[in-house]
Amino acid sequence: MIPDPPDPNPLRDAQDRRLPQIAGPCGMVIFGVTGDLSRKKLMPAIYDLANRGLLPPGFSLVGFARRDWAHQDFAKIVHDAVKEYSRTDYREEVWKQLAKGFRFVPGDFSDDVAFAQLRDTIEDLDRERGTAGNHAFYLSIPPRFFPNVIGQLKEHGLAEDRPGAWRRVVVEKPFGHDLKSAQDLNNIVSQVFPPEAVFRIDHYLGKETVQNILALRFANQLFEPVWNANYVDHVQITMAEDIGIGGRAGYYDGIGAARDVIQNHLVQLMALTAMEEPTSFDAQSLRTEKQKVLRSVQLPDDLELDTSRGQYAAGWAGGEKVKGFLDEEDIPKSSTTETFAAIKLEIDTRRWAGVPFYLRHGKRLGRRVTEVAVIFKRAPHLPFTRTATEELGQNALVIRVQPDEGVTLRFGSKVPSTAMEIRDVNMDFAYGGAFVESSPEAYERLILDVLLGEPPLFPQHEEVELSWRILDPILEHWAQRGKPEPYPSGTWGPASADEMLARDGRVWRRP
Ligand SMILES: NC(=O)c1ccc[n+]([C@@H]2O[C@H](COP(=O)([O-])OP(=O)(O)OC[C@H]3O[C@@H](n4cnc5c(N)ncnc54)[C@H](OP(=O)(O)O)[C@@H]3O)[C@@H](O)[C@H]2O)c1
């Protein structure tokens, strides 16, 4: 075995890895601070980190938005968001300490004066609060503004590292609309920030249950020997939502289910489920293994039969009548945007040859659930009468990503009686039952990792590009097919999705 190169940071090994790391002196600037994401996720996550003692005492948060606010008005907005959405208890002393570092810069993205003021504000913070020149710029804004803001950061000298200090940029999905636009976006970002300073958020990777896929697979002896084409029949990766598009018509129309969820979250879940064991859990080793999976993906020969897309029609959700997608506010009646997408992919490697990976996502489905279900082949021989195993299904290992986080193992068991009768039962691990600590929100973990400069949970540009290479031919095929197939709200999607699996002799799980 080749010995590891000397660790440039020998203190790392001296640290107790059970203790969370605390970010060094730094600050964060949020663009789009009046938006939905900032209010519901980013501001509460920053408070939760402060409450857990993981932010430096001088941490500073600068809000940038088109509002005529003073610093204290901004602090009030953050306070309300924290009270409503933070995960941990509200503690006045934590809040007061945190709020001392709040600043607000009013301005439009095209406003040079505002960016000059932002630069001055950051320099003041370095002097007043010891943020030491370390600042992360969080672009929580519609993607069409990325070029403006990144250009302004460069123009005003905000993007350059100072000696001994760092500058980082955080980019929210969607990373482009297709391969070409993702490449264009990357060109813009990479002209200003080096690759190690770019943190692309796929918040699924910040979820405990998603990271647990790696723990389950690689910390145990039990699963990996059967994690291959010899034993696995197929894999179903589902993210189902029971809600519709809500007030997000402007974002959603023209994007749709495949771009919004499959291209990023579900492809990442597939990569983690299918990848080989990495040599370590550093960013480079993880990315190498994920990229190998994405490079090995084979599209089905028949995109018409092996994909499905739908659009929710009127129906029921939570016992209430709901309208269809085309009747939602600000959605044109002619919209061909899909709200349901299912695709079948194969991974052309020795481990997975012949094992389909079915990915599906939809809105207004029967239940909110995200899971990875590994469905095993039937036992090669059953030494029982046929009636004894009539109710025996296939063994399955289900990683429940959300809600009700945990892992379920399904297998056959004898029904208590004198006769031999075998039926499926579930063995459950639930986070809530096994651990007293509640899981941090994905954004807590990811924001802390940005401040620590820890990149393993952030997809690199190559992964983004590879996933668009998978999606692009499917999206082009759909674009030529006109309208998606309607499905009633509250059901599990269009008939074509069921037919797609039925042709393979399989059925979708109804979790
Ligand atoms: N919401 C979510 O749950 C979610 C989930 C995953 C990813 N994302 C991504 O996160 C980003 C933000 O999403 P969001 O839902 O928070 O968006 P949003 O609610 O539409 O907010 C957009 C923000 O951008 C600001 N803005 C727009 N044009 C501006 C301009 N010319 N100058 C200055 N500020 C401007 C808006 O400020 P004004 O108030 O001044 O208009 C607002 O603060 C998007 O890239 C989205 O795709 C969102």
Confidence of residue 417 (pLDDT cuts 50, 70, 90): confident
Spatial contact of 29 and 122, defined as CB atoms under 8 Å apart: yes
339-386 confidence digits (pLDDT tens): 999 999 999 999 999 999 999 999 999 999 999 999 999 999 999 999
DSSP assignment of 379-442: PS---S-TGGGTB----EEEEEEESS-EEEEEEEEE-SSSS--EEEEEEEEEHHHH-SSPPPPH
Q: What is the pLDDT of residue 2?
A: 55
Beta bridge partners, 357, equal 235, 345
**Given the residues 265, 381, 461, 477, the one annotated as active site:** 265
Is 185 within a domain?
no
Answer yes or no: do 237 and 297 share one domain: yes
Phi, psi of 127 (to 5 degrees): -75, -45
The token pair at 402 is 């959300």
DSSP assignment of 85-144: H-SSPP-HHHHHHHHTTEEEEE--TT-HHHHHHHHHHHHHHHHHH--TT-EEEEE-S-GG
Write down which residue in 172, 190, 218 finishes a domain. 172
Is 12 within a domain?
no
Write down which residue in 172, 189, 223 finishes a domain. 172
Instruction: Using the mean position of ligand 1's atoms as its centre, give its distance from the Cα of residue 36 in Å.
Output: 7
Is 310 within a domain?
yes
Pocket residue to mutate for ligand 1, from 77, 138, 141, most atoms within 8 A of Cβ: 141
Which ligand 1 atom is nearest residue 250's CA?
A: 20
Which ligand 1 atom is nearest residue 34's CA?
A: 43
More confident residue, 17 or 50: 50
Indicate whether residue 185 lines ligand 1 (CB < 6 A).
no
The CB density around residue 10, as the number of other CB atoms within 10 Å, is: 8
The token pair at 227 is 């994690």
Confidence of residue 154 (pLDDT cuts 50, 70, 90): very high
The token pair at 24 is 């060094």
9-32 confidence digits (pLDDT tens): 444 444 455 567 899 999 999 999
Q: What is the pLDDT of residue 64?
A: 97
- H-assigned helices in 308-354: none
Which residues fall within 8 angstroms of residue 194, CB to CB, at 6 or more apart? none
Q: What is the pLDDT of residue 13?
A: 43
- For 126-255, where are the E strands, in sequence order? 135-139, 167-172, 198-201, 232-240
Answer yes or no: do 291 and 384 share one domain: yes
Q: Taking all residues of the chain, what is their mean pLDDT, rounded to a whole number?
A: 94
Q: What is the pLDDT of residue 93?
A: 96
Instruction: Using the mean position of ligand 1's atoms as its centre, give its distance from the Cα of residue 142 in Å.
Output: 5
Q: What is the pLDDT of residue 12?
A: 42
Is 193 within a domain?
no
Report the candidate in 78, 62, 65, 72 with the shortest Cα–Cα distance to residue 27. Answer: 62
Domain containing residue 168: CATH number: 3.40.50.720
Answer yes or no: do 266 and 168 share one domain: no
Asked about 203 being catalytic, the answer comes back as: no
Which ligand 1 atom is nearest residue 67's CA?
A: 40
Is 96 within a domain?
yes
Answer yes or no: do 145 and 217 share one domain: no
Pocket residue to mutate for ligand 1, from 34, 37, 181, most atoms within 8 A of Cβ: 37
274-311 confidence digits (pLDDT tens): 999 999 999 999 999 999 999 999 999 999 999 999 99
Q: What is the pLDDT of residue 17?
A: 54
Answer yes or no: do 94 and 217 share one domain: no
Spatial contact of 340 and 324, defined as CB atoms under 8 Å apart: no
DSSP assignment of 44-63: HHHHHHHHTT-S-TT-EEEE
397-415 confidence digits (pLDDT tens): 999 999 989 999 999 999 9
Answer yes or no: do 328 and 228 share one domain: yes
Q: What is the pLDDT of residue 484?
A: 97
69-98 confidence digits (pLDDT tens): 999 999 999 999 999 999 999 999 999 999
Task: Count Cα atoms within 13 angstroms, Cβ side, for 194.
Answer: 5
Answer yes or no: do 305 and 389 share one domain: yes
Domain containing residue 351: CATH number: 3.30.360.10
441-473 confidence digits (pLDDT tens): 999 999 999 999 999 999 999 999 999 999 999
State how far the Cα of 396 lies from the Cα of 196, in Å rounded to an integer: 39
State how far the Cα of 75 lies from the Cα of 100, in Å rounded to an integer: 9
Over residues 37-53, the mean pLDDT reads 96
Answer yes or no: do 139 and 244 share one domain: no
Confidence of residue 503 (pLDDT cuts 50, 70, 90): very high
Q: What is the pLDDT of residue 488?
A: 98
132-150 confidence digits (pLDDT tens): 999 999 999 998 999 999 9
Instruction: Using the mean position of ligand 1's atoms as its centre, give its distance from the Cα of residue 174 in Å.
Output: 12
The token pair at 47 is 């408070």
Answer yes or no: do 226 and 119 share one domain: no
Residue 313: pLDDT above 80? yes
More confident residue, 21 or 47: 47
Phi, psi of 397 (to 5 degrees): -115, 120
Indicate whether residue 141 lines ligand 1 (CB < 6 A).
yes
Provide the CA 387 distance to its chain's centre, in angstroms. 44
Which residue has the CA at smallest separation from atom 48 of ligand 1? 37
Spatial contact of 269 and 237, defined as CB atoms under 8 Å apart: yes
Answer yes or no: do 348 and 435 share one domain: yes
Residue 231 φ/ψ region, left for φ over 0, alpha for ψ in the -120 to 50 degree band, beta for the rest: alpha
Helix (H, G, I), strand (E, B) or coil at 324: coil
233-274 confidence digits (pLDDT tens): 999 999 999 999 988 898 899 999 999 999 999 999 999 999
Over residues 219-231, the mean pLDDT reads 97
Q: What is the pLDDT of residue 14?
A: 43
Residue 491: pLDDT above 60? yes
Instruction: Using the mean position of ligand 1's atoms as its centre, give its distance from the Cα of residue 227 in Å.
Output: 41
- How many domains are contained in the chain? 2
Indicate whether residue 264 lines ligand 1 (CB < 6 A).
no
- For 314-395, where are the E strands, in sequence order? 315-317, 320-322, 340-347, 356-362, 369-376
Answer yes or no: do 231 and 104 share one domain: no
- H-assigned helices in 193-282: 208-218, 249-252, 256-257, 267-274
Answer yes or no: do 381 and 479 share one domain: yes
Pocket residue to mutate for ligand 1, from 39, 140, 446, most atoms within 8 A of Cβ: 140
Helix (H, G, I), strand (E, B) or coil at 453: coil
Q: What is the pLDDT of residue 162?
A: 83
Is 194 within a domain?
no
Domain span at residue 443?
Answer: 206-502
Confidence of residue 511 (pLDDT cuts 50, 70, 90): confident
Q: What is the pLDDT of residue 364?
A: 98
Which residue has the CA at smallest separation from atom 36 of ligand 1? 32
Report the candidate in 78, 173, 170, 193 with the shortest Cα–Cα distance to residue 447. Answer: 170
Indicate whether residue 140 lines ligand 1 (CB < 6 A).
yes
CA torsion angle 448 454 456 461 (round to 10): 100
Q: What is the pLDDT of residue 21?
A: 87
Is 201 within a domain?
no
Report the candidate in 80, 96, 1 with the shortest Cα–Cα distance to residue 33. Answer: 80
Q: What is the pLDDT of residue 19?
A: 62
Report the candidate in 233, 238, 275, 241 with the shortest Cα–Cα distance to residue 410. Answer: 233
Instruction: Using the mean position of ligand 1's atoms as its centre, give its distance from the Cα of residue 66 in Å.
Output: 12
Write down which residue in 172, 187, 214 finishes a domain. 172
Spatial contact of 171 and 189, defined as CB atoms under 8 Å apart: yes
Is 5 within a domain?
no
Spatial contact of 206 and 442, defined as CB atoms under 8 Å apart: yes
